[in-house]
A and B are shown apart, each in its own frame.
Chain A
C-alpha cells in the first residue's frame, strides 16, 4: 500500500508570498492519479488539481501542480487571504480501486 507523506506539516506565510507544498509517495505512482484538495474549517474538501498538474474547473491559475514518480508539489504563486487552509494530496490505485490521502499540510497566516 502506497503511503503519501506531506511536508511541511504547517507552513506559515504572509499574503502575497509563494507557497510550496510537498507530497512524497512511498513508491513511484502514475502522475495521472495524483490529486490535490483544499479544505477550509467547517467545509468539505475542494478539488484543486488532478493528473498531478491539471487545474480543476474554476481554480485560479495561481495554483499549480507538478511532479512525477515519488515527488509531487503544489505551488501557490501569490497567496491570497482565502488560500489559508489545509491541503491534502491524494493517490488513486487503479489496480485495487483504492484512494490514499496524505496527512495534510496546514497553511497558516504568519
Chain B
C-alpha cells in the first residue's frame, strides 16, 4: 500500500536550518509529482512546494521562495525539504503529499503523517 513517512522534524532555534525527509513506498515514486504542505498549530493548510517526477521542475509558494528548497532522490524513493533561516512562524506540522500525474491531477491523494517543526529559542 502507498506510504509516505516524514522525518527530520524537531526543535530548532530561530535562524537555524533543518532538512525534512519523506520516504515513499508502495508506488512507483519517480512517476509522481510530490508536494510539501504545512499546517501551523490550530490553523489551516498552506501549500509550500511542488516537484516533478524527475526533479527537473520545481515551484514554490511566494511566502517561502528563497528559504525553502525541495529536492528528491528517486533511487532512494525520498523527497526532501531544506528549510533555512527558520522563524517562529515556520512552526508547523510539515506534510509530504503525492499528486497523481495521469489524466486527473491537481489534487493530493496520499499524505504522510507529518513532521512537527518547532522554532523557538
Contact B107 A92 (CB under 8 A): yes
- Give the residue of B61, B109, B112 whose beta carbon is less than 8 angstroms from that of A98: B61
Q: Kindly provide the distance from the CB of B115 to the nearest chain A CB, expressed in whole angstroms.
A: 11
Please tell me which stretch of A20-28, A44-52, A77-85 contacts chain B, meaning at least 4 of its Cβ atoms lie within 8 angstroms of it.
A44-52
- Are B50 and A47 in touch, CB under 8 angstroms? no
Across-interface contacts of B110 in A (CB, < 8 A): 47
Cα-based distance from A35 to B114 in the complex (angstroms) = 20
**Minimal Cβ-Cβ distance residue in B for A103:** B44
A44 near B44 (CB under 8 angstroms)? no
Contacting pair B47 A98 (CB below 8 A): yes
**Which residue in chain B gives the minimum CB-CB distance to A6?**
B44
Report the interface size class on chain B.
Answer: 20 to 34
Expressed in whole angstroms, the Cα–Cα distance for A50 and B53 within the complex equals 21
- B residues 19-67 in Cβ contact with A at 8 Å: 35, 37, 44-47, 50, 59, 61
A contact residues, range: 20 to 34
Whether A45 and B45, one on each chain, are in contact in the complex, defined by CB atoms closer than 8 angstroms, is yes
Q: Which residues of A contact B109 (CB under 8 A)?
A: 47, 50, 56
Q: Check if A99 sits within 8 Å of B37, measured CB to CB.
A: yes
Q: In the complex the two chains form, is B107's CB within 8 Å of A104's CB?
A: no
Max chain B C-beta neighbours (<10 A), residue from A88, A92, A96, A99: A99
Nearest CB on B from A93, distance (A): 9
B53 CB to nearest A CB, Å: 13
Instruction: Tell me which residues from 9 to 33 in chain A have a Cβ below 8 Å from any Cβ of chain B.
Output: 32-33
Q: Which of A46-104 contact B (CB under 8 A)?
A: 46-47, 50-51, 54, 56, 88, 90, 92, 94, 96-104
* Contacts beyond the supplied A44-B111, A51-B104, A88-B44: 17 A-B pairs with Cβ under 8 Å: A32-B106, A35-B107, A45-B95, A45-B111, A46-B111, A47-B107, A47-B109, A50-B107, A50-B109, A54-B104, A92-B107, A97-B50, A98-B47, A99-B47, A101-B46, A104-B44, A104-B45
